[in-house]
Amino acid sequence: MSDTSGNVVLVRGLTKSYGATTVLKGVDFSVARGEVHALLGGNGAGKSTMIRIITGAASKNDGDVRFFDSNGRERSEAEGRAKVAVVHQELALLPHMTVAENIALPHHRKGTRLFKRSVAAMRAFEALRMIDEEFAATSLHRLVGSLTLHEGQMVEIARALSSGAELILLDEPTANLTALETERLFAVLRKLTRENGLSVVFVSHRMKEIRQIANVCTIIRDGRTVVDRQTINELSDVAIVEKMGQVAASHPEEFARPSARVLDATAERDSITLQEQGFTLELRPGTILGVAGAPSGPAALIASLTGAARTKRWTVARAGWSGRLQSPRKAARLGAGYITGDRSHKGILHSLPIIDNIMASRRIVRGTAIAGGSEGAECFELLKALKVKAASVWDLPNTLSGGTQQKLLIARWLGIPSRLLVLEEPTRGVDIGTKREIYQLIRQMAASGTVIVWWSTENVELLEVCDRIVAFDTEGRCAGVLEQDVFSEEKLVTLTGMAA
Ligand X SMILES: Nc1ncnc2c1ncn2[C@@H]1O[C@H](COP(=O)(O)OP(=O)(O)OP(=O)(O)O)[C@@H](O)[C@H]1O
Point out which residues bind Mg ion (CB under 5 A).
Answer: 48, 89, 401-402
CB atoms within 10 A of CB 196: 11
| Residue with Cβ nearer Mg ion (52 or 362) | 52
Q: Which residues contact 118 (CB under 8 A, 6 or more apart)?
A: none
Q: Indicate which of ligand X, Mg ion, none lies near residue 83 (CB less than 5 to 8 Å, by partner kind).
A: none
Window 60-89: contact mask with ligand X (x via CB under 6 A): -----------------------------x
Residue 293 within binding range of ligand X, rule CB under 6 A: no
Question: Which of the listed partners (ligand X, Mg ion, none) does 49 bind, with a CB threshold of 5 to 8 Å by partner kind?
Answer: ligand X
Please give the residues from 377 up to 406 whose contact with ligand X meets the rule CB under 6 A.
398-404
Distance between CA 3 and CA 229 in Å, rounded? 12
Q: Which is nearer to Mg ion, 89 or 271 (CB)?
A: 89
> Are residues 35 and 229 in contact, defined by beta-carbon separation less than 8 angstroms?
no
Query: Rounded to the nearest whole angstrom, what is the least distance from the CB of residue 378 to ligand X in the complex?
Result: 22
What, of ligand X, Mg ion, none, does residue 41 touch, CB below 5 to 8 Å by kind?
ligand X
State the sign of the Cα–Cα–Cα–Cα dihedral 167, 170, 173, 174: positive
Nearer to ligand X, 199 or 405 (CB): 405
426 part of the interface to ligand X, by CB under 6 A? no
Residue 400 binding target from ligand X, Mg ion, none, CB below 5 to 8 Å by type: ligand X
Q: Which residue is nearest to Mg ion (CB)?
A: 48
Does 55 help bind ligand X (rule: CB under 6 A)? no
Other Cβ atoms closer than 10 A to 396: 15
Nearer to ligand X, 398 or 444 (CB): 398
Of 44 and 152, which has the nearer Cβ to Mg ion?
44
Q: Which amino acid is at 460?
A: V
Choosing among Mg ion, ligand X, none, which partner's interface includes residue 43 (Cβ < 5 to 8 Å by kind)? Answer: ligand X
Is residue 219 involved in binding ligand X (CB under 6 A)? no
Q: Which among Mg ion, ligand X, none contacts residue 18 (Cβ within 5 to 8 A by kind)?
A: ligand X
Instruction: Kindly report the number of other CB atoms within 10 A of residue 203's CB atom.
Output: 24
How far apart (Å, rounded) are the C-alpha atoms in residues 2 and 4? Answer: 6
Instruction: Give the nearer residue to ligand X in terms of CB position, either 222 or 276.
Output: 222
- 396 SS3 class: coil
Contacts of 66 (CB under 8 A, 6+ apart): 4, 9, 10, 11, 12, 74, 80
Residue closest to 412 by CA, chosen among 342, 486, 346, 360: 360
By three-state DSSP, how is residue 172 classified? coil
Q: Does 18 bind ligand X (CB under 6 A)?
A: yes
By the rule CB under 6 A, 47 interacts with ligand X:
yes
Contact region with ligand X (CB under 6 A), list: 36-44, 66-74, 111-119, 439-447: 36-44
Q: Which CB sits closer to ligand X, 34 or 41? A: 41
Minimum CB separation of residue 402 from Mg ion in Å reads 4
Strands annotated E in 369-455: 420-424, 451-455
Residue 295 three-state SS: coil
- Cα–Cα distance measured from residue 81 to residue 67, given in angstroms and rounded to the nearest whole number: 8
Q: Binding-site residue total for ligand X (CB under 6 A)?
A: 21
User: In which order are the strands placed within the sheet that holds 279-283?
Assistant: 279-283, 272-276, 315-317
For position 418 contacting ligand X by CB under 6 A, the verdict is no
SS3 assignment, position 350: coil
Which residue type does 151 have?
A: E
Distance (Å, whole) CA 358 – CA 38:
32
Residues at the site binding ligand X, with contacts judged by CB under 6 A:
18, 21, 23, 41, 43-49, 89, 398-404, 429, 431
